[in-house]
Structure 1
């Protein structure tokens, strides 16, 4: 599994925050806010809320992808941040694995926030063939700035 931030961040990527919260003190809100503050196209995933941070939520990753397809915007894929307990993260990844629409091929990267993964989650991510898996204690609120900048630098260098 790769931890390449350039595979997670892209100017043509759609981002999802699984475990987004409307409670400003929770990490699900703070991570969603991080994406908004960086003007990245993001969809909060939360089946209990219709809107968070003035953004329409989706109940799950499948619904979010269907919304993206219907919008007509051409993204190169999905990068997903998980802020959920490992059992919920596993359920989401398993539903993607069991999906018959090849949704897993659209996922270019996942960022497992601290506490959102275990060895079974990492194994499922590997089975799905996800290009970039960021985990091992890295938090987007701490590492995101530098990794986003690094990915931008790599994209710029690739053009020359």
Structure 2
């Protein structure tokens, strides 16, 4: 099975539109990527549901041990886990009928992508959420500008 290689801007907008996301790989440490994403998306108005089996709460948000524990109306999942955990989280996403999944660049694995593709769950890969979750700020805004200049920004 050949895994999809491109993501459209419409898919990205569809993923972000509900502004309600589960975040697997959320960290209690605000200096780690999984902690800074929680802080920054919260500031951008997202309703977040951190998933971390080792935490009860992250940045004043209730933390969930696994995908199965999430509220039933949370249907979009952002995966920030180390690669050795991504396939398991993708399997949990399938079992719990997530409608869309974003695997943060550097977290994707061929196995995780195949799991989602086989289940027919739309997914985003090889993209950084910071370049698309408005308002895009600082170095991420400059990076987005460069990606557009060089023609690598997703098409509609």
TM-score, normalisation: structure 1:
0.71
What is the CA–CA distance in structure 1 between the aligned matches of 2:108 and 2:64, rounded to whole Å? 22
Per the alignment, residue 40 of structure 1 pairs with: 46
Equivalent position SS for 2:134: helix
Q: C-alpha offsets along residues 16-46 of structure 1, whole Å, 9 cap, x if unaligned?
A: 0100001111010111112211221111001
Query: Runs (4+) of structure 1 moved beyond 3 Å?
Result: none
Conserved 8 A contact 2:44-2:134: no
What is the CA–CA distance in structure 1 between the aligned matches of 2:118 and 2:131, rounded to whole Å? 28
Per the alignment, residue 58 of structure 1 pairs with: 64
Q: Flag structure 1 segments of 5+ consecutive residues without an equivalent.
A: 70-74, 148-160
Find 1:141's aligned residue among 113, 130, 140. Answer: 130
Q: Flag structure 2 segments of 5+ consecutive residues without an equivalent.
A: 137-156
Find 1:117's aligned residue among 102, 108, 111. Answer: 108
Per the alignment, residue 81 of structure 2 pairs with: 84
Q: CA RMSD in A?
A: 2.0
Bigger helix fraction:
1
Task: Count residues with an aligned counterpart.
Answer: 129
What is the CA–CA distance in structure 2 between the aligned matches of 1:45 and 1:32, rounded to whole Å? 11
